[in-house]
Amino acid sequence: MPAVLSVTMALGARMLARSKAIVSRLESIEELAGVDVLCSDKTGTLTQNKLTLGDPEASTGMDAATLILMASLASRAADNDPIDLAVLSSLKDSTVLNNYQQEKYVPFDPVDKRTEATIRDSSGKVFRVTKGAPQVVLALTRLSGSDLDRASKTIQSLASHGYRTIAVAVAQDDGPWTLLGLLPLSDPPRPDSKSTIARARAYGVKVKMVTGDNVAIARQIASQLDLGTNIQPATELFPGDVTKGQIPLDAAGKIDQADGFAQVFPEHKYAIVKILQENGHIVGMTGDGVNDAPALKQADVGIAVSGATEAARAAAALILTAPGLSVIIEGIAEARRIFERMMSYVLYRIAMTIAIMVFVVLASIYYHFFPLTAIMLIALALLDDVPIMTIAFDNASVPPQPVKWELDRVLVISSVLGLLGVIQSFGLLYLGDTLHHLDHPQLQTMMFLQLVAGGHLLLFVTRTRRAFWKPPYPNLKLFLAIVVTQIVAVFMCSQGWMVPPLPWRIIGFVWAYNLVWMFAQDVVKLAIYGILDPARLWKRSLFQPIRVSTTSRPEAVS
């Protein structure tokens, strides 16, 4: 069982890699299939991360050209930062930068949320210039009174139209900071974000937007994407120091109901993940920076987005090589297909184990002879191994709800099918003894063929929750593997290869008997699903979110 599940997950990881999602831990595939809340960064994931500069809002006595120049001095093209590139590209004459020398530069930091440069002009005068999040820069300038109200209203007005605002300030030597003005930046949503979020919702995944921008911008983007407008400011949710566990008691309910979070710092991400997990959710969290690593590690599925730092990639379970939310949602869909393949194998393996072991023991007691020879047991194991390894390639549907192992249901379904297999085998043994009057060696060969044929037909039954003749149909590799092994088993029995030979009429009878039982087992399977899941056909999934790794859970079953 561990070998089959490991192969299934390894091949699944390769399929995810083709979808631009690299799995760093195999067991994270299982957790990805169970994600029911996805906390997604806004910039670059929900939006295009292609910023364009709007009309600058310069402070009194400052012109727009000088405001853009000062912002450009606090930028660095070599960093390929989208904000820096947008500011630098808005300069009408970039040669003006040659008159200034950048002596020191502090790049953008998710905690400080601003850049700062020490500049020397052509006359030798030294000054400092900074640009960054408005709340941070306004705090530096210690703006108050009507000036603060006017700046705040401008920021809110721009945000309500979807503009991300950057504040620019200057300081002479070690003197106080002076606000130069505001730069509105537009970052439109990705064309596929809205449809992808709708697809995630159809899969039972709640997408919550996480952004460092203010609430108004977050609400504007969220409304465009149909995410909802219940955006909670992280600074109000966590007024204390979250690194010291200062989390208000009422924050859990607000976080659970929120459609997104604004004004988020890296430490807030960690707290959001922790609370959602305590509320019973399986959480996916995206991130790209060094400071996002704790949240990525804490999340059930940490997702390092395209262009993430090495620290973020090392902490993540899933590493994206292409931008956008669609990569993540496709990854969730593929993970659920992988889980379905593993589930079909577990159901089959438990049912067949019961069918073989119980039958062999009871038949030995009742009929006073062993129904299978040692050679037959070895051949049965080898012929079983070929098809079950191809389960990793099988076609599987995507459950519309998060999935997990529910061992009580797994054991009920597999045990009932296994006991049906015992009855099936005893029925054939009785008919072979009383109707066809076969001797013990021929009865052994007949039971060998019964377990090979019946077992592989049972695989068609367990591989889907629907009727076995309905889509998704078996993958060609799985189908051919079963056909080839059945041909080998039939010729072994007809030609007497390593087993006593059987007449062709008995072989035909065994196959007809098994086909009838295949339909009977499928009817019973559908009835069990109907009892365990009255809503039927994925309205309420048989499998719910999981946190335990596959490598340990199925072994506990066996």
Residue-wise pLDDT for 332-341, tens only, equals 999 999 999 9
pLDDT score, position 558: 32
Predicted confidence (pLDDT) per residue in 433-454, tens digit: 999 999 999 999 999 999 999 9
User: Are the C-beta atoms of residues 124 and 99 closer than 8 Å to each other?
Assistant: no
Decide if pLDDT at 555 tops 50: no
Dihedrals phi, psi of 84, to nearest 5 degrees? -60, -45
Decide if pLDDT at 540 tops 80: no
Task: Please report which confidence band the pLDDT of residue 294 belongs to, taking 50, 70 and 90 as the band edges.
Answer: very high
Predicted confidence (pLDDT) per residue in 67-76, tens digit: 999 999 999 9
Angle made by CA atoms 200, 204, 206, in degrees to the nearest 5: 65
Per-residue pLDDT, averaged over 71-85, amounts to 90
Among 191-205, 221-235, 537-551, where is mean pLDDT lowest? 537-551
Domains of the chain in sequence order: 21-48+188-321 (3.40.50.1000), 52-186 (3.40.1110.10), 332-557 (1.20.1110.10)
DSSP state of 27: T
Q: Strand 301-304 relative to strand 318-320: parallel, antiparallel, unpaired?
A: parallel
pLDDT score, position 534: 57
Q: Which residues contact 398 (CB under 8 A, 6 or more apart)?
A: 203, 333, 336, 337
What does the mean pLDDT of the chain come to? 89
Amino acid at 520: A
3-state SS, residue 267 = helix
Predicted confidence (pLDDT) per residue in 504-531, tens digit: 999 999 999 999 999 999 999 999 998 8
434's tokens: 């009383």
Predicted confidence (pLDDT) per residue in 11-39, tens digit: 889 989 988 999 998 889 999 999 999 99
64's tokens: 């727009």
Per-residue pLDDT, averaged over 157-171, amounts to 89
Among 190-194, 202-206, 263-267, where is mean pLDDT lowest? 263-267
SS3 content of the chain, % helix, strand, coil (to 5): 55, 15, 30
Distance (Å, whole) CA 411 – CA 44: 44
**How many CB atoms are located within 10 Å of the residue 125 CB?**
10
Among 230-234, 383-387, 540-544, where is mean pLDDT lowest? 540-544
pLDDT score, position 418: 96
Q: For residue 148, what are the CA distances in angstroms to 63, 141, 176, 557?
A: 19, 10, 16, 64
**How many CB atoms are located within 10 Å of the residue 189 CB?**
17
Amino acid at 274: K
3-state SS, residue 262 = strand
353 or 243: which leads in pLDDT: 353
| Backbone dihedral region for residue 170 (phi beyond 0: left; psi -120 to 50: alpha; all else: beta) | beta
399's tokens: 């459950």
Nearest to 326 by CA among 212, 225, 472, 444: 225
pLDDT score, position 271: 92
pLDDT score, position 80: 85
User: Counting Cβ atoms within 10 Å, is residue 520 exposed (0-12), middle (13-18) or buried (19+)?
Assistant: middle
Task: Please report which confidence band the pLDDT of residue 547 belongs to, taking 50, 70 and 90 as the band edges.
Answer: very low
pLDDT score, position 213: 84
pLDDT score, position 551: 38
132's tokens: 């960054």
Distance (Å, whole) CA 310 – CA 316: 10
**How many CB atoms are located within 10 Å of the residue 397 CB?**
14
Is the pTM higher than 0.85? The answer reads no
Instruction: State the SS3 of 430-488.
Output: HHHHHCCCCCHHHHHHHHHHHHHHHHHHHHHHHCCCCCCCCCCCCCHHHHHHHHHHHHH
Residues with a catalytic annotation lie at 41
Q: Which residues contact 523 (CB under 8 A, 6 or more apart)?
A: none
Predicted confidence (pLDDT) per residue in 91-123, tens digit: 988 889 999 999 999 998 878 889 999 999 999
Decide if pLDDT at 88 tops 60: yes
Nearest to 180 by CA among 85, 88, 66, 94: 66
